[in-house]
Amino acid sequence: MYMKVNSEKFKKVSRLLLTVSLAMGLFACEDDTQTDSFSTKDVPELLELSQAQKDVLAYLPTNIIIAHRGTEFWAPEESEAAMRWARNMGADYIECDLQKTADGVILALHDESLLRTTNVETIYPNRENDYVSSFTYDELLKLDIGSWFNEANPEQARESFVGLDILTLDDVLMIAEGKRIKRNPDGTRVVERDENGNYLRTVYEDDPADNGNRPGVYIETKSPSLFPNMEEALRACLEEHGWYAENINDLKTIAYKDGQPGEVDIANTPARIILQTFEPTGLVRMHEVFTRPIPTLYLFGDSAGPASYARYINFAIENGATIMGPNIDYIEGYPSSIEPWQRDMIRKTGMHIHCWSFNTQEQYMEYCGPWQDSAGQGGPEFNAVDGGFTNRTDLALRFYKETLQGYADQGRNYFRSNAHVGMPDNIHAAKTMRIPQDVLEELGY
Ligand code: G3P
Ligand code: CA
């Protein structure tokens, strides 16, 4: 199990290195040198955002907390437990990655392989190395995505995580709407089937623990070579749920529990979906398929010099992105791609910045903290982050609600105004701080 966890880390570092190499191939500039002082020669002019991009930014809130894979820390990643937990904790967005099954079901699953997060070796011993895309959803429903987490995280382990099943994108959207999966007494999900017995859809029910929160859903497409038409399938799924519409006025209104809104309601705004990808081709396809532009993040992890960095930004702008997604310094030995000069370059364009991935208060302080301003006055323009992916929604809330608010109470404003989207500057100030384990108990885990 230890090997698997490390192999995920290894994969992440390899992907970062690959991104760097890609960038060098795509946007290479001989004047970029990684020395103490970067060359600023041949830095291209930064492009202007289109009116459509400005329109998107006009409804995008800031200082958002994005629950990375639901949560990796407190529950098995991208499981029903993780997503319900993040919703009830007060995350503004629940994040998922997309894979697709052989029978076309869109999954909320990070890896192309089942080895790291399931018991595939036991259930399908001859297929353990196969792509997830070679399995039908019915086959995947036999796998357990909770046990590996219990083994890898004994302090967070819960018996009730054993047997959790792989989620679909439908599941994530329904959880964001305050529902849960309807289950049989043995824990298997209630599903509808066609006349041949094939899986059609899952049945949902009101979540008795729903506290009225309606987070947005932050969706990452992966592996464009495996899933060339994922963007079309994604758009169709979102349209079916009323989460995307060609006309913004046709988006569904999502009901609250007993008519009472909770503390998060981004799902009832046009910012309800944010798309993200590391893949240049993925970004191009999103731009083509989502004909009404919606908030879109271009992810990258690149410590290259100003010319390459500017080319990344311009590529993103040309292809409809409204947010840049650099990494903070969170993998040992791999530098952040959001140093002050990089932050300034993105800020100049007016794009937002959502960084990945925050695990500690110290990281929040480093990238959003009061000393970002050399004059000591603070101010949102000095922060590197408009939103952060985090595995610790609980710590993120504490940072925004209490730690940073403490400085705001001293007369400094560290928040970018959300007034233009009808939200207070600090969208977390009024949220309830819940104990993570208590939320899991309240959800029945
Ligand atoms: O999606 C945001 C960022 O964390 C990407 O990394 O590997 O978790 O999808 P990953
Ligand atoms: Ca992701």
First to last CA, the chain: 23
CB count within 10 Å of CB 8 equals 15
Question: CA 378: distance to chain centroid?
Answer: 27
Cα(376) to ligand 2 centroid in Å equals: 34
**Kind of pairing between the strands at 199-202 and 191-193:** antiparallel
Report CA torsion sign: 87, 89, 95, 96.
negative
CA distance 129 to 113: 7
pLDDT for the residue 381: 74
Cα(184) to ligand 2 centroid in Å equals: 31
Please say whether the beta carbons of 315 and 302 come within 8 A. Answer: no
Cα dist from 151 to 118, 155, 158, 161, whole Å:
12, 9, 10, 11
Question: CA 98: distance to chain centroid?
Answer: 11
pLDDT for the residue 12: 53
Q: Which atom of ligand 1 is nearest to the CA of 15?
A: 7
Reading the block at residue 52, the tokens are 């459509």
Q: Which residues contact 159 (CB under 8 A, 6 or more apart)?
A: 150
pLDDT for the residue 416: 83
CA distance 396 to 434: 12
Question: CA 316: distance to chain centroid?
Answer: 18
The number of the ligand nearest the C-alpha atom of 299 reads 1
CA distance 271 to 62: 11
* Residue 275: closest CA among 265, 264, 287: 287
Cα(250) to ligand 1 centroid in Å equals: 30
276 lines ligand 1 (CB under 6 A): yes
pTM (predicted TM-score): 0.92
222 lines ligand 1 (CB under 6 A): no
Q: Which atom of ligand 1 is nearest to the CA of 110?
A: 9
Q: Which of 299, 331, 393 is the pocket-test mutation for ligand 1 (most atoms within 8 Å of CB)?
A: 299
Nearest CA to ligand 1 atom 5: 356
pLDDT for the residue 369: 82
Rounded to the nearest 10°, the torsion over CA 126, 132, 136, 139 is 50
Please classify residue 118 by burial: count the beta carbons closer than 10 Å to its beta carbon, then call 0-12 exposed, 13-18 middle and 19+ buried: buried
CA distance 96 to 214: 16
Please provide residue 332's backbone torsions phi and psi, each rounded to the nearest 5 degrees. Answer: -50, 130
pLDDT for the residue 374: 60
The number of the ligand nearest the C-alpha atom of 72 reads 1
389 lines ligand 1 (CB under 6 A): yes
Cα(110) to ligand 2 centroid in Å equals: 7
Report CA torsion sign: 114, 119, 123, 125.
positive
Radius of gyration of the CA atoms of the chain, in A: 21
pLDDT for the residue 390: 97
pLDDT for the residue 375: 63
Reading the block at residue 130, the tokens are 């196969």
Nearest CA to ligand 1 atom 10: 110
Q: Which residues contact 269 (CB under 8 A, 6 or more apart)?
A: 59, 61, 216, 421
pLDDT for the residue 412: 75
Q: Which atom of ligand 1 is nearest to the CA of 69?
A: 8
- Extract the residue ranges of the chain whose pLDDT is less than 70: 1-39, 371-378
What is the per-residue pLDDT across 328-354, written as a single tens digit (0 to 9) for each? 987 777 789 998 889 999 999 999 999
